[in-house]
Structure 1
Amino acid sequence: MGRRTAKSESFLPSPPPCRLRKPSTFEHWTEREIDESAFKDARLGRRFGELLKQIGDGMGQSIPYACQDWANTQAAYRFLANARVDEGEILTGHFAATRARCDAFAGQILLIQDTTEFSYQRANVNAVGLTKSVNSGRDKRGRLRHHRVCGMLLHSSLAVTTQGLPLGLAAVKFWTQFRGTKAPKSKVNPTRIPIEKKESVRWLDNLRQ
């Protein structure tokens, strides 16, 4: 059975308590999800706040459409390409807000976990990683064809009430894959593989977080 092993991944540790901004008279909903002090540079925190507002007001739209003008669009792409910014800084405020909403809720809270695939078309599959192999029909000789889907994976844990009200993300983990050895299924005993080497360990990691 062909196996895939993790090429790279980032596990976000539980964020420390942070100082969220005090609510203003006309507070935009995104202000409750940002901790500007988590960024290495205060200007990056402010830029992220503006970018999140623009994307929040244009939900589902492309970045250029949400930003409306070329200057804001360039600023958005510069922020996303900035090596000094990582997902931990971006999500710290949201994790803290999720914790606060959970603390304020008196009832039972459910933790829903799922894995999302982000697919990309790439000539070089090693540049972005793999998600899975899919059946793409038959060739002229009637033989089945398979092609590898490029992309990355996101495992998330969403906190919701029993009434279905979402309280926010409690944990997030990103990872990519590359094709491993094609060992015959008869020579691989899945029950002998440590859980740390299986993709299902992400579920346990998110639960711990």
Structure 2
Amino acid sequence: MKKISLFFLTAFLMFSINLFAQQGGDSNQIDGSTRIPTYKTLKKGALTFSLNGSANNSRQIAGWSLTPQAGYLVADRLVVGLQMSVANRFSKQEYNSWVSLKRGAVREYAFTPEVYARYHVLPFRLSPFLQLSSGYNIGEFTINDGLSRDKISLSTNNYVMFGALGLSLRIGEKMALQTQYNLPLIVDSKRNDMIGGNRFRLGLSLYLR
């Protein structure tokens, strides 16, 4: 609980400082030459579409996760929108481990629709951002016994919330590369180990006006 409170406090303080700085800068503008170089596509009223993902392939398991996002800038550098995370992983044939069954005998998938808010801290080409997302995980964990042909399934449905720290690099007027680190805030570690484990992510964003 302390970690969650600290995260929200830090996010609120950074948002407030940058908001006041932006308002102060606008009030002191004399002409266009003194304006802070803010990209027009990070201004209020723009649309943004993003896709980020992660993948893993160890000796024991393999999997991937993709998250498309669609958002609207409700204020300068502040995006609010919807996202859908899709994740899947399966066991690989490996002895003397928890996946000592055949390849694919252990499988897990998850669909997680969420609402999210992302705030770009700086208006420059390279900018850190803060993100908060919340939704409902719909998933299933299954084990197929190759000997008895029995199938054991366990639902992993439950409410989840994530924070994220990221870095965005503009590579054009309407395009940016991004990397982020997800911080599970409300996640059942026993039932949602897969979605909670997809921490590092890479992605691409498009901005349209």
Task: Please give the TM-score of this superposition, normalised by the length of structure 2.
Answer: 0.25
The answer to which structure, 1 or 2, has the higher relative contact order (CA under 8 A, 6+ apart) is: 1
Which has the larger strand fraction? 2
| Bigger share in helix | 1
